[in-house]
Amino acid sequence: MLKSPTQPRKSLIAVILPAYNEELNIATVLEVLHESEMLDEIILVDDASQDKTAEIMDQYAARDKRMQVIRHEKNQGKGQAIFTGWAATVAPYLLLLDADLKNLTPGHLQSLLAPVLEHQADMTRGLFWGGHFNTDLSHRLTPYLTGQRGLRADLLKCISRDAAAGYGFEVALTVGANQAGYRTRNVLLKGVWHPSSEIRPERGGYWSGKLWHFRMFAQIIRAWFIASRQRYPKEKPFFLTLLKP
């Protein structure tokens, strides 16, 4: 009697990890993703890095069949890198992470995703707590700028692509989710932090880091202005998203 072939399990959770010149940091994050058994897809988007970021991605993808590497030929910014990753998956749940995180564990990933998977929230925002004073303070003052998110994938349809350009993605996501009526919950990521832009050698030292920081916040202000002027359709209850149109 012939045995029918086992049907592959439909992807449920995909993580999107955008990166630009993160050769000094990304391996630590990739190792955590590799260790996490709850992830079905791991989409690595190299935004035209000029260092060994893509090479490190390829090394991990060779070890883990869930990983795929997508490269931009030209640097397009974090927002577009995330949209590129989203276009490569049909998973209904997404995990968005920065590529320079320190002290991240699979447990932190579980904490970010659990409220969304259990339908207690439509999006979570991961806030650093107890890792490093500077990044802790930044997240307390501006929680809407965190790059650590768990969310329903359909939420990305609410984002203004114009506002999300460059480093405006988190602001565009926050404003779009709020105006469309999605439920958001903050999650503390105990012990997690990331390096300050001013001390990162790949950004050219202290003053170059300061200039990079200034440009980033200019893009964030621009994103807030654009996104707040958009009008978004109201979010459907979760059970309606499971029905075919």
Q: What is the CATH number of the domain that holds 62?
A: 3.90.550.10
Phi, psi dihedral angles at 127 (to 5 degrees): -110, 130
SS3 69: strand
pLDDT exceeds 60 at position 212:
no
Residue 127: inside a domain, yes or no? Answer: yes
Q: Judge contact between 71 and 49, C-beta under 8 A.
A: no
User: What integer is the mean pLDDT of 160-166?
Assistant: 77
Q: What is the value of pTM for the model shown?
A: 0.82
Range of the domain at 35: 13-159+183-196
Residue 139: inside a domain, yes or no? Answer: yes
Residue 62: inside a domain, yes or no? Answer: yes
Higher pLDDT, 188 or 231: 188
Position 220: which residue type? I
Res 180: pLDDT: 87
Report the mean per-residue pLDDT for the chain.
84
Residue 233: inside a domain, yes or no? Answer: no
d(CA 201, CA 138): 21
Res 166: pLDDT: 73
Higher pLDDT, 153 or 216: 153
Residue with the two structure tokens 């998110």: 149
Which pair of tokens denotes residue 197? 């832009």
Per the DSSP assignment, residues forming a β-bridge with 123 are 151, 184
Higher pLDDT, 175 or 209: 175
Residue 240: inside a domain, yes or no? Answer: no
Res 2: pLDDT: 35
Of the candidate ranges 22-31, 54-63, 141-150, 225-234, the one whose mean pLDDT is the lowest = 225-234
Q: Tell me how many domains the chain contains.
A: 1
Res 164: pLDDT: 74
Higher pLDDT, 76 or 230: 76
Res 179: pLDDT: 83
The model's confidence at residue 211, banded by pLDDT at 50, 70 and 90, is: low
Higher pLDDT, 126 or 135: 126
Residue 152: inside a domain, yes or no? Answer: yes
The model's confidence at residue 215, banded by pLDDT at 50, 70 and 90, is: low
d(CA 160, CA 139): 23
Which pair of tokens denotes residue 238? 């979760």
The model's confidence at residue 6, banded by pLDDT at 50, 70 and 90, is: very low
Residue 224: inside a domain, yes or no? Answer: no
Residue 153: inside a domain, yes or no? Answer: yes
Q: What is the pLDDT of residues 81-97, one digit of tens each?
A: 999 999 999 999 999 99
Q: Judge contact between 189 and 106, C-beta under 8 A.
A: no
User: What integer is the mean pLDDT of 213-238?
Assistant: 61
Output DSSP code: residue 193.
Answer: B
